[in-house]
Amino acid sequence: MTSAENLQAFRRDGRIVVVGASLAGLRAAETLREEGFTGSLTMIGDELGEPYDRPPLSKQVLTGWVPAGNTKLPRRREIDAEWLLGVPADGLDLAANHVHLADGREVPFDRVLISTGVRARPWFVESEAALDGVFVVRTREHAEGLQRALAAGPSRVLVIGAGFTGSEIASICRERDIPVTVAELAPAPLVGALGAMIGEVAADLQRAHGVDLRCGVKVTQLEGDAQGRLRRAHFEDGTTIDADVAVVALGGIRNTDWLRSSGLAAGVWGIACDTGCRALDLNGLVTDDIFVAGDVARCPNPIYEYRLISLEHWANAVEQAGVAAHNMVSAQADRWPHLTIPLFWSIQFGVNIKSVGVPTFADEVVVTQGSVPDHRFVAAYGYRGRVTAAVSFNNAKWLDHYRRLIETAAPFPPPCPAPDQPADMKPVPVDFPGPVLLAQGATVVVTGHDPSERRVTAVRQHR
Amino acid sequence: MTTTETPGLLRRILDYSSRADPYPLYAELRKTPVARQDDGSYVISTYRELTDILHNPHLSSDTRNLSQPMAGAEGQTAPAFINLDPPEHDRLRRMAMRHFGPPHTPALLTGMEPVLATTVGGLIDDLTDKERIDLVDDFAYPFPVTVICHLLGVPREDEPRFHLWVNDLINSIDYDPKTDPKEKLDKGVQARMDLREYLGGLLAQRHGRPGEDLLSRLANDDGPDGRMTDEEIVSTANLLLIAGHETTVNLITNGMLTLLRHPQVLQRLRGEPDLVVPLVEELLRYEPPVHIIPWRAAYSDITVADTEIRKGSQIMLMLAAGSRDPDRFHDPDRFDPDRRDNQHLGFGSGIHLCFGGPLARRETQIALTELVRRLDGIRLVDDPPPYRRSPILRGPVHLHVERSAG
């Protein structure tokens, strides 16, 4: 049988399993059907209930405007799938081609898509995390719980971590007129994603809206009362603050633990894949039947020196899922590369923040349009003399232009003036906090000498 | 590469004899995405180049940035935001939008639905026993005029007065000093002054009298950006009054014309009223009311499709040609209400994206659904119908239909 006939047969009655039934998983399933896949489709998800949208969870749901239950993702088409919900996958056997579920079931496949995403990084002391009033926000249930706590009118909310989620939650608190303290280890909010200059703007924005913003501080302990309710938080310098709600917004952990023995190149950074979304194995070899999409994927981007980049962006999940699904049911010659320019947005303190490109891939930043004091501007990021990213505050309609500058490796700083260019336009160093995460221990070792013998072996991390 | 396309192609497009079907000429024009004209101006006609330049912050909407001033521009005292750049454009548009849409006035359009439905219903009531109907004079013109008057707070009975002014104004937009009589321009300049004076008079009565209409709201606003000056309010009202009906007339008329030319789609719309939503989007692509943005200015040197456009150059944007670009739209000359990924240029793109687009959409959706539902067995009297003069705001001047017997 030729491979064309094989593909025909697979498209007709093959078995595809999607592990991770959220945005990326659902959109991939829809694309598979759209592309004419008529075989069996199984959706595995650890959460009960239909796939829902997460961006509103730190925004409209927390204001109480949209009930958490009303965030179900719109369906683009019927997918005719078997749904295995409420049980996580806990293993992938590449020799037998099946997914192992936590309840012992085994689900066989011909091809599998991994879109298990990210979970919230919990507070590091389990007993303190369990206190009444301590929240993370990732799932619908989390958002619902926090919404109720905010509606009860807490005396003060402590937000730990001033990334996008933490800042959005602080914004909601102010909107609801709840006193809020934001504690951030870095020198300013958003600084890890957008650098020092924008971080300073974000800090001004928070303070102007009445946030008690404390940067360069570390929360060391959450203290409860006899009933197990949160009462106060302790800082590293010995000071304390009374709060009855704490939101732990310290980013996410990629859901790759279940792949520990799978032989795939999976770890804390995600699952490495090629631009066709095919997973790499431990040796860095491309697999044929394992695909990855969404927050958990770590994909090379040719525009950024082919570096492996993982993105926790809504638009990336949708686009990558589409490419992965297309490639799962296409012959090699018809496959697409996932080559989009990252796009991200946030709404906080009445400002629409939007970015295009990879701002961390930059050495300089310059305000090209608008006015920083008015919180209406566009800033372009450059790396060695070319544009690599842009961020807008309440000025998003220009970003398509900057996307084109990134795609065409246009010179940085952009040479020509626009009508709304600030008078004192001058590039400044972008200044990101040090790459602390790079200091983590090795995850693999290489063995063997002869080219036919050389192999990579995973090393369990010691905590 | 800078290339000059077939000499005279633009002139042929602008010539009245091409009005009924400019699309083959657009196809010819697209062979040169950025075409330099003999007078040093540029014409852009392909989708990718149009969207690129519409998002380019170096493209100016302010005539003062043209190295050769526009004829008749001297009459403009305070330009409306359509002819301004950021930050002034942003400030004025933001202050107007406060009273027109989200986030400050999200319910305006929904609140107007009863007015839209009643107006449409009443106009069609008057048509049902007529044998012969002019869909322009009897419906597509009076409907949006009534709506924009209601919205702005302009007395409906004044319509015959401003109708004449608006006509003269529109006629003067594509004034060409080489071929047109000077009178055409003079009439436009005079009409602009008369209309401003008229709106200024209405505005004077609104100060200190808060009301629901847009003029009253603008006159008494105390938003974060402060209040517009009277001159700015008049410019804004002037813009909305003209744009608020001149374009929608064409969209509705082009819509009925297209449906009568595609009876199977018309029949489908009767049975599936929801089809009207994608259908109007396809209409905005296939027969848009605004074909051309007649000029923009290069604020700095701009490179588009490897062509360098020098600072101060005039740039003409052929939006309707871009919406039929086969490199962007599959089978672009086919009217396909089921078309997906239909990011047409019917409302432009970028910061000057049509301010009234959401209203125009809803007006047209209601108009087409109701016309098709209530007017049975109508057929076109002339195909093609007679067209208005303007190649910019393009549409039939009359659209006569007849009841076929039985």
List the domain boundaries for chain B. 9-403
Which one is the CATH code of A3-119+258-334: 3.40.30.10, 3.50.50.60, 3.40.120.10, 1.10.1740.10? 3.50.50.60
Residues of A with Cβ-Cβ distance to B353 under 8 angstroms: 397
For position B405, what pLDDT does the model report? 58
CATH classification (class only), B9-403: mainly alpha
For position A440, what pLDDT does the model report? 41
For position B1, what pLDDT does the model report? 45
- Return d(Cα B46, Cα A133) in angstroms, integer: 57
For position B406, what pLDDT does the model report? 47
Nearest to B55 among A370, A401, A417 (CB): A401
C-beta of residue A262 within 8 angstroms of C-beta of residue A279: no
Indicate whether B253 pLDDT > 50: yes
- The strand pair at A15-19 and A40-45 is best described as parallel
**What does the DSSP assignment read for B246-301?**
HHHHHHHHHHHHHHHH-HHHHHHHHH-GGGHHHHHHHHHHHS-SB--EEEEEESS-
The size of the A-B interface in CB pairs under 8 A is 50
For position A436, what pLDDT does the model report? 42
- Note whether B58 contacts A418, CB cutoff 8 Å: yes
The radius of gyration of chain A's CA atoms, rounded to the nearest angstrom, is 23
**What does DSSP assign to residue A132?**
B
C-beta of residue A160 within 8 angstroms of C-beta of residue A181: no
Confidence category of residue A462, pLDDT binned at 50, 70, 90: very low
Indicate whether B74 pLDDT > 70: no
Selected for mutation to probe chain A from B64, B95, B299, B347 (highest A CB count within 10 Å) is: B299
Indicate whether B70 pLDDT > 80: no
Residues of B with Cβ-Cβ distance to A419 under 8 angstroms: 57, 60, 62, 65, 85-86, 299
Q: What is the arithmetic mean of pLDDT over B295-312?
A: 94
Question: What residue has token string 């439905």?
Answer: B117
Indicate whether A2 pLDDT > 70: no
Q: What is the arithmetic mean of pLDDT over A180-207?
A: 96
Indicate whether A1 pLDDT > 60: no
Exposure class string for B311-322: b at 16+ Cβ within 10 A, else e: bbbbbbbbbbbb
Confidence category of residue B6, pLDDT binned at 50, 70, 90: low
For position A90, what pLDDT does the model report? 96
Q: Minimal CA–CA distance to B241: which of B61, B96, B76, B86?
A: B96
For position B362, what pLDDT does the model report? 97
Q: What is the arithmetic mean of pLDDT over B192-218?
A: 93
CATH superfamily placement of domain A350-429: FAD/NAD-linked reductase, C-terminal dimerisation domain (3.30.390.30)
**Neighbouring-strand partners of residue A377:** A370, A393
Question: A135 versus A414: which is more confidently predicted?
Answer: A135
- pLDDT, averaged across chain B: 93
**Minimum Cα–Cα distance from A352: chain B residue:** B103
For position A455, what pLDDT does the model report? 76
Q: What is the pLDDT of residues A390-399, one digit of tens each?
A: 999 999 999 9
φ/ψ of A273, rounded to 5, equals -145, 170
For position A4, what pLDDT does the model report? 83
- Note whether B57 contacts A376, CB cutoff 8 Å: no
Indicate whether A67 pLDDT > 70: yes
Residues of A with Cβ-Cβ distance to B348 under 8 angstroms: none
- How far is residue B132 from each of residues A96, B115, B225, B377, B388, measured CA to CA in Å? 75, 26, 51, 12, 20
Selected for mutation to probe chain B from A416, A421, A425 (highest B CB count within 10 Å) is: A416
For position A442, what pLDDT does the model report? 52
Q: What is the pLDDT of residues A299-338, one digit of tens each?
A: 999 889 899 999 999 999 999 999 999 999 999 999 999 9
- How far is residue B151 from each of residues A34, B154, B197, measured CA to CA in Å? 44, 8, 19
Share of chain B above pLDDT 90, in %: 80
> What is the three-class DSSP state of A265?
coil
Selected for mutation to probe chain B from A377, A420, A425 (highest B CB count within 10 Å) is: A420
Question: B166 versus A168: which is more confidently predicted?
Answer: A168
Is CATH 3.50.50.60 correct for A126-250? yes
Tell me the residue type at A45. G
Q: What is the pLDDT of residues B265-283, one digit of tens each?
A: 999 999 999 999 999 999 9
The alpha carbon of residue B349 is apart from the nearest alpha carbon of chain A, in Å, by: 9
What are A202's two structure tokens? 């974000």
Residues of B with Cβ-Cβ distance to A400 under 8 angstroms: 51, 55, 350
Q: What is the arithmetic mean of pLDDT over B212-217?
A: 94
For position A233, what pLDDT does the model report? 98
- Note whether A418 contacts B51, CB cutoff 8 Å: no
Residues forming CATH 3.50.50.60 domain(s) in chain A: 3-119+258-334, 126-250
The CA-based dihedral angle spanning residues B76, B79, B80, B81, taken in that order and rounded to the nearest 10 degrees = 150
Indicate whether A157 pLDDT > 60: yes
Q: Minimal CA–CA distance to A91: which of A286, A257, A253?
A: A257
Residues of A in CB contact (< 8 Å) with B are 368-371, 376, 378, 397-398, 400-401, 404, 416-420
- Return d(Cα A196, Cα A182) in angstroms, integer: 17
Confidence category of residue A453, pLDDT binned at 50, 70, 90: confident
- Note whether A397 contacts B87, CB cutoff 8 Å: no
The alpha carbon of residue A461 is apart from the nearest alpha carbon of chain B, in Å, by: 46
Q: Minimal CA–CA distance to A175: which of A68, A31, A58, A318?
A: A58
The half-sphere exposure of A16 on its side-chain side, counting CA atoms within 13 A, is 33
Indicate whether A141 pLDDT > 70: yes
Indicate whether A110 pLDDT > 80: yes
Indicate whether A426 pLDDT > 50: yes
Share of chain A above pLDDT 70, in %: 95
**What does DSSP assign to residue A410?**
-
- Note whether A418 contacts B299, CB cutoff 8 Å: yes
Q: What is the pLDDT of residues B111-133, one digit of tens each?
A: 999 999 999 999 999 998 899 99
- pLDDT, averaged across chain A: 93
Confidence category of residue A438, pLDDT binned at 50, 70, 90: very low
Indicate whether A407 pLDDT > 60: yes
Report ipTM (2 d.p.). 0.89
Ranking A78-92, B37-51, B164-178 by mean pLDDT, the lowest is B164-178
For position B396, what pLDDT does the model report? 97
> What is the three-class DSSP state of A72?
strand
Q: Cis bond leading into A413, ω under 30°? A: yes
**Neighbouring-strand partners of residue A16:** A41, A111
Indicate whether B184 pLDDT > 90: no
C-beta of residue A392 within 8 angstroms of C-beta of residue A355: yes
